[in-house]
Amino acid sequence: MDKLKGRDLLSLADLSSDELKELLQLAAQLKSGQVNLKCNKVLGLLFSKASTRTRISFTVVMYQLGGQVIDLNPNVTQVSRGEPLVDTARVLDRYLDILAIRTFEQKDLEIFANYTQIPVINALTDREHPCQVMADLLTIQECFGHLDGLTLSYFGDGNNVANSLLLGCATVGMNIRIATPPDYLPNMEIVGQAKEIAQGASEVLITNDPQEAVREANVLYTDVWASMGQDSEAKSRIPIFQPYQVNEQLVESAADDVIVLHCLPAHRDEEITDAVIEGERSRVWEQAENRMHAQKALLASLLGSD
């Protein structure tokens, strides 16, 4: 994956189909122990939002690669006192080998990418969550042995995860259906990108009807109904989103071989029932583990191995 060395990953749209598939193959090889890579580098984590899986998985795999991690909590850096992002970016560029950023605005991520020479990774913005979807695709590939032609149906808020699923599924040749309430659609610019990537070879469907989305679906996917920063809306959203709950009835309406994914954290018995997330169709815990393997492949590819 030398062709990715030194590049940024701000969006899954930054990767070609071959590049994404090669990353997933490398992730599988790293997970199985077929490949063992080392890169003695320093990763900075600049996270303005709470994180469990992203923070811990990046930290663990960087240590496994033989590198070091610096947690750049904005509350204890000059960012919290108003230092311009361009100034912070220029300084970090001289200290670090790679930088993963979790923030609100995609434009803030782009500032760092524009003012640094080191690779910058989108560890979540309000627009996209590419690292999560790489792990999702790895999990699906493990379960089915392939990705091309499978159908993933997402139910709930048209948020950053939905946006990245659109791009990721279209890139690997999967059908992607997004079922949301009318006022909670995914980013329509990204929908257009996904359709352009798919070029009619795979389905890109946006619907308000969960029954239309679930038919013959191989993967059912959901996320919380109110993302970080939307906590004040959480209770008012429940009746709006209730028809999009991933429950036993929805699972029964999907394909016989269906699996269920959730990027976590989950609000059990809201967007997904306790019975489903703990049920035999759930692959949520494998999905969470695969954050490590997908991100190890990404770090090794962007940094190059020793």
pLDDT per position as a tens digit, 208-218: 999 999 999 99
Q: What is the mean pLDDT of the chain?
A: 96
Any bridge partners for residue 204, and if so which?
A: 176
pLDDT band of 306, cuts 50, 70, 90? low
- Residues tagged active-site: 102, 129, 132, 223, 263, 291
pLDDT surpassing 80 at residue 143: yes
Mean pLDDT across the stretch 99-117? 97
Query: What is the per-residue burial (b if ≥16 Cβ within 10 Å, else e) of 172-197?
Result: bbbbbbbbbbeebbbbeebbebbbeb
Tell me: do 140 and 272 sit in the same domain.
Answer: yes
d(CA 93, CA 113): 10
pLDDT attached to residue 82: 84
pLDDT attached to residue 81: 82
For 124, the domain range is 2-128+291-303
pLDDT attached to residue 1: 60
Q: Which alpha helices (H) appear in 80-148, and where do they start and end?
A: 85-95, 106-114, 130-144
Lowest mean pLDDT among 80-94, 198-212, 251-265: 80-94
pLDDT surpassing 90 at residue 305: no
**Radius of gyration for the alpha carbons in the chain, expressed in angstroms and rounded:** 19
Any bridge partners for residue 178, and if so which?
A: 154, 206
Q: Which residues, at least 6 apart from 121, have a Cβ–Cβ distance to it below 8 Å?
A: 8, 9, 98, 99, 100, 101, 131, 298, 302
pLDDT attached to residue 29: 98
Tell me: do 235 and 177 sit in the same domain.
Answer: yes
Tell me: do 140 and 255 sit in the same domain.
Answer: yes
d(CA 107, CA 234): 26
Lowest mean pLDDT among 219-233, 244-258, 284-298: 219-233
pLDDT surpassing 90 at residue 36: yes
d(CA 73, CA 49): 10
pLDDT band of 125, cuts 50, 70, 90? very high
Tell me: do 138 and 42 sit in the same domain.
Answer: no
Tell me: do 85 and 159 sit in the same domain.
Answer: no
pLDDT attached to residue 303: 97
Using an 8 Å Cβ cutoff, are 116 and 99 in contact?
yes
pLDDT surpassing 70 at residue 20: yes
**Unique residue bearing structure tokens 């808020």:** 157
Q: Which residues, at least 6 apart from 27, have a Cβ–Cβ distance to it below 8 Å?
A: 134, 138, 290, 293, 294, 296, 297
Here the tokens at position 168 are: 């990721």
pLDDT attached to residue 52: 96
pLDDT attached to residue 73: 86
pLDDT band of 232, cuts 50, 70, 90? confident
> Taking Cα atoms as reference points, which of 94, 126, 96, 92 lies closest to residue 108?
126
Domain count, the chain: 2
Tell me: do 205 and 247 sit in the same domain.
Answer: yes
Taking each helix axis from N to C terminus, what angle separates 284-303 and 53-64, rounded to the nearest 10 degrees?
50
Tell me: do 114 and 189 sit in the same domain.
Answer: no
Tell me: do 154 and 48 sit in the same domain.
Answer: no
Tell me: do 251 and 142 sit in the same domain.
Answer: yes
pLDDT attached to residue 86: 96
pLDDT attached to residue 145: 98
pLDDT surpassing 70 at residue 172: yes
CATH at residue 13: 3.40.50.1370
pLDDT surpassing 80 at residue 2: no
